[in-house]
Structure 1
Amino acid sequence: MPPPSPGSHRHRSANRLHTVLLLAGMIGLLVACGWIVAGPEGGLWALVLGGVSLAFAPRLSPQMVLGMYGAVPVRAWDMPKVTAILNELAERAGLPRTPQLYWIPSPTLNAFAMGTRGDAVIAVTDGLVRSLSARELAGVLGHEITHIANGDLWLMGLADTVSRLTRMMSLFGQILLLFNLPLLIAGAVTIPWGLILLLVLAPTIGALLQLALSRTREYDADLGGALLTGDPLALAGALRKLEQYGRGLWESLMLPNRRNPSPSLLRTHPPTEERIRRLVDLRGQLSGRPALPGIDALAQGGAPVAGRFRIVPAQPRHRLTGLWY
């Protein structure tokens, strides 16, 4: 695979710098909470506790999550074209083994990855497989494989652990403040109000940093997926369909231009329009590259890739574990 263009290097370097700064900010916030609660030793212990928790924290089994969704493993004969694309992309990404593909019986359009670099799974919904062309599906799979290759699953797990510890430390500090409130009122103990405010706001600040980190990793996965397939417009087309089908009929008819009204700071994913714009800008940078073997032949045509799986009804069914498709 040819090396990425200079523009791609700048994009990737900027995203990595953002990732380091955001993660450092989250860890610094955790240490600050520990220092406010118990002084310098508390800050050191908060850092040690974070490392220990990350090392020994129980990992949620992908099989448990997939079982909740009623996911079915996809064999090579179930979706030959899709599995061939996945194998090709995993080889280009340098993964030690191809992630196991799972099919989720749901008409919604979604895909996600779980596990580790050497033992990962990628799940796609029935609605996604039937709504996207093979070319667009290759773009989505490239995005998910980039998450795996970049270690984003581990990184976001680390960010989640740090965020949880920050909330625990903040709660413990606020409980101590309540117990010492009479002394504070009497003036026997003095604590700078700025530190108290930081302790109270720490969980919110940590959550915002975690969301910003998630958005940064999504941009990097978009870039990596485009580099793997050599076709940024494929992922851009998939994102357009995801945005379009994600709206309900009433919203599509009455409010076609209003989507995702939540503030940008509270989004786990960047705005779709911005992601598409960046992918379209990559088209010129990748246009001079030689054709990548395999994907073009596997992903030609615009017909959806359904495989042998049945069409999922639009209405969900009630099960013991909840409401599932």
Structure 2
Amino acid sequence: MPMVRLNERQRRRHKFRNLGQSILLVGSLGLLVAAIGWLLSGWFGVVWSAILIGATVAFSPTVSPRTILRLYGARRLGPYDLPEVQQATRLLARRAGLPSVPELHYLATPVPNAFTVGSSCGSAIVLTDGLLRAMSLRELAGILAHEISHVRNHDLWTMGLADIISRVTSAMATTGVVLLLLSLPQTMERHGTVNWPLIVLLWAAPPINTLIQLRLSRTREFDADLDAADLTGDPEGLAFALAKLQRYDPGFWERILWPGRRNPHPSVLRTHPEIEERIGRLLSLQQADEAFPTSEARMVGLPTHWARPAHRPRWRASGLWH
């Protein structure tokens, strides 16, 4: 896996932009819940909101990565399964400075996809059969680097925190709407004034939260792409992989499996950025005078006894589709 010199100025510019957007978006979620608390009960409401978020973070039940892997039916790859992929994962994890190498798991589904569970202390990367058969080793290295970057950047924790703040905000907004409706007859009887700013904020808070979370998800995807290019020294490898995924026709089942991944919805309603923009950012990291290797045709050597999945993704008893 050769390291190639990147456009450092462009890389730093993208990195600073992604970091600034992430801080701004998480801060916006916090300001929104604080604003609701202020309108409901002044400073007491703000303090109560902070306590509620802290308690939810501290005592929220966490789902074990093993449980998620069992729900999907993913199988851990043994030390002798896909040795070249295992070696690439170890090398990328070492370059990323992870304390442990992510475990590789195989999911027998024809849909090409990869996802990560766990944290930097213990994580697992799931690779589908469709992905392993579609990607070359070079392209797969870019995808592995992308998933490892998610682990190193604590993106799962960041998105989990955003989700907790969003749930607290929604709960407070719902409670506020109920209280306003209950007190409305008494307010009208006393000819009191209706707190219209509070009403508007309570009704608008849940969709605003959703839009902020979607934007945060897209920002973290951009940052993972950037760090993946830095880990492999080969932004074109990941760009080629993204181009292949773009050519894949998702059909009905992928829209159920991974809604929002690639659909005609406006960009603000997507969980992932548009692939064209991701590819453009990756290629902008290329030095004008740097010759990158051409795309390798060498594919992952799957064991002969691994039969190609013949089934279509379907609903499972776990409630998941794959």
TM-score, normalised with respect to structure 1: 0.88
Report the Cα offset of residue 317 of structure 1.
Answer: 6.2
C-alpha change, 1:70 and 1:30, in structure 2 (3 Å) is: same
C-alpha change, 1:184 and 1:287, in structure 2 (3 Å) is: farther
Aligned to 2:177: 174
Q: 1:311 aligns with which of 305, 308, 322?
A: 308
Does 1:78 find its partner at 2:49? no
Contact preservation (8 Å) 1:243, 1:272: yes
Aligned to 1:205: 208
Report the Cα offset of residue 16 of structure 1.
Answer: 0.3
Does 1:113 find its partner at 2:113? no
Aligned to 2:188: 185
Cα deviation digits, residues 18-54 of structure 1 (max 9, x gap)? 0000000001111111222222201111011101111
Give runs of aligned pairs for residues 50-89 of structure 1, distance below 5 A: 50-89=53-92
Contact preservation (8 Å) 1:101, 1:121: yes
Give runs of aligned pairs for residues 11-26 of structure 1, distance below 5 A: 11-26=14-29
Contact preservation (8 Å) 1:163, 1:206: yes
Deviates more, 1:51-60 or 1:266-275: 51-60
Q: 1:141 aligns with which of 141, 144, 153?
A: 144
C-alpha change, 1:284 and 1:4, in structure 2 (3 Å) is: closer
C-alpha change, 1:273 and 1:33, in structure 2 (3 Å) is: same
Q: Distance in 2 between matches of 1:190 and 1:74?
A: 65
Contact preservation (8 Å) 2:6, 2:233: no
Q: 2:286 aligns with which of 280, 283, 287?
A: 283
Q: What one-letter code is carried by the residue in structure 2 that aligns with 1:161?
A: I
Q: Distance in 2 between matches of 1:227 and 1:162?
A: 32
Q: 2:46 aligns with which of 40, 43, 46?
A: 43
SS in 2 for 1:101: strand
Report the Cα offset of residue 246 of structure 1.
Answer: 3.7
Which ranges of structure 1 fall in alignment gaps of 5 or more residues? 250-258
SS in 1 for 2:287: helix
Report the Cα offset of residue 235 of structure 1.
Answer: 0.6
Does 1:242 find its partner at 2:238? no
Q: 1:163 aligns with which of 163, 166, 171?
A: 166
Report the Cα offset of residue 309 of structure 1.
Answer: 3.1
C-alpha change, 1:32 and 1:226, in structure 2 (3 Å) is: same
Does 1:91 find its partner at 2:94? yes
Which ranges of structure 2 fall in alignment gaps of 5 or more residues? 253-261
Cα deviation digits, residues 263-312 of structure 1 (max 9, x gap)? 111111101110011111112279389x9xxxx9xx96422342463321
Q: What one-letter code is carried by the residue in structure 1 that aligns with 2:214?
A: L
Contact preservation (8 Å) 1:230, 1:286: no
SS in 1 for 2:106: strand
Report the count of equivalent residues: 309
Deviates more, 1:277-286 or 1:122-131: 277-286
What's the Cα RMSD here? 2.4
Cα deviation digits, residues 78-126 of structure 1 (max 9, x gap)? 1101111100000000000001111111100111111111111111111
Contact preservation (8 Å) 1:139, 1:238: yes
Q: Distance in 1 between matches of 2:268 and 2:105?
A: 32
Report the Cα offset of residue 10 of structure 1.
Answer: 1.3
SS in 2 for 1:44: helix
Cα deviation digits, residues 165-205 of structure 1 (max 9, x gap)? 11101000000001101123234543431221011111111
Kindly, what percent of the aligned residue pairs are identical? 44
TM-score, normalised with respect to structure 2: 0.89
Q: Distance in 1 between matches of 2:307 and 2:152?
A: 31
Q: Distance in 2 between matches of 1:6 and 1:225?
A: 16
Give runs of aligned pairs for residues 266-277 of structure 1, distance below 5 A: 266-277=269-280
C-alpha change, 1:57 and 1:286, in structure 2 (3 Å) is: farther
C-alpha change, 1:160 and 1:97, in structure 2 (3 Å) is: same
